[in-house]
A and B are shown apart, each in its own frame.
Chain A
Amino acid sequence: MVERVKDDMGGAAAALDFDAELMLRVKEGDGASFGVLLEKHRSSVIHFLYRMVQNHAVAEELAQEAFLRVYRSRVTYEPTAKFTTWLFRIATHLALNALRDGKNERSQERLDDDSSDMPVRQVSDLRPSVEQSMVYQAKLAEIRSAIAALPEKQRAAVLMHKYEEMEYSQIAKVLGCSESAVKSLLFRAYETLRARLAHMA
């Protein structure tokens, strides 16, 4: 079945894209394969969406919608590209719509109250002092605010590049632009972030 994955992905990528293979099984009615895809990509999609909209509940709501759309689209699915490219394209589309619909207003509230987002290990393992915890929260608020201030496409590109470790070519396909456009988006975004967060060194 792997041979059915079209050449558009490039030979090596096609052979390696087990996800597309799984999605083709979903298309044939195999629900277990959908479960495998969900387990494999759930965290990265939710984390990406969380950093896009900066609200955990909204991010999960959007991730639900993204996976639901994947499931609904299974009958028309054709493996013309990497599965994750398609998945992140849906997720990005949903995130941008949510931001434009004003769900980010809720996320702005969260910028001031992200105590629940503090990684567990910061609390239980290192047991920071109140002062350390406050410094950490202040840094986190600055980082989140700097990311939130980036134009939408720059933000999406940085999040995919930095946190999802995607290559330029894949980010380009997700955002529907050229690789050089992605490099330019990242160049400007990192420039802005370096300037804004320089004092954190």
Chain B
Amino acid sequence: MNCLLETREETQVLLDYCARALSAPGAALVEAHLQSCPRCQEFAAAQKNLSEALDLWQAPEVSLDFNRRLYQRIDAEAAQGSWWKSLLPQFERGPFQPTLWRRGLPVAVAACLLVTVGIVLERPGKSPNSAPKDMAQIESIQPEQVEQALDTMDLLSEFSHHVRTEGQESKL
């Protein structure tokens, strides 16, 4: 086997080996080469050191109120009768209502109970009367929301296009 550092493609194989992304036979080939090549040994050791150094950087814990804040924003938009409701013909009174009604009242009642318990647990500080307060906390401005929606829709269609193109390429 030629030295893996001679071409970028083969160095990539060595990087994959270091990231433990090679199959067992691939890894065995690299290991065999490593035993006789000090340059590759040095490269692999440097990459291993880098990987261990990067492992030192732990991300902080997610804030306890992250979900509550997000649901508050979703509720606020829903309560506002927000602009995007017009995009949702099936969206009537609440985000989760239509499906519940389609599945029948008993299922809806049971699900509502579960959701309510979930909401109470998830949002300990929120009282049933807090809706007006939530509404008062609406942060978004309409033009900004429209811009964001268009942005996301662009992203979505651009993304779908990209994925389809990739799919076609890979079939070729």
Contacts and interface: CB of A to CB of B under 8 A. Distances in A.
Interface residues of A, number: 64
A136 B56 contact: yes
Contact of B87 (A28, A51, A75, A144): A75
A20 to B, nearest CB: 12
A47 B57 CA distance: 11
B80 interface: no
B159 A86 contact: yes
Which secondary structure dominates chain A's binding surface? helix
Contact of B19 (A51, A80, A161): A161
A42 B56 contact: no
Given A73-B152, A176-B162, A190-B15, A42 B59 contact: no
B58 A194 contact: no
Given A29-B96, A29-B99, A116-B60, A73 B88 contact: no
A31 B100 CA distance: 10
B73 interface: yes
A26 to B, nearest CB: 9
Nearest to A93: B155
Interface in B112-161: 114-115, 118, 148-149, 151-153, 155-156, 158-160
Contacts of A50: 59-60
A72 interface: yes
B74 interface: yes
Interface of B: 8, 11-12, 15, 19, 21, 45-47, 49-51, 53-54, 56-63, 66-67, 69-70, 73-74, 77, 84, 87-88, 90-91, 95-100, 111, 114-115, 118, 148-149, 151-153, 155-156, 158-160, 162-164, 166-167
Given A29-B91, A69-B148, 7 more contacts: A68-B73, A71-B74, A73-B156, A76-B87, A93-B151, A167-B21, A201-B45
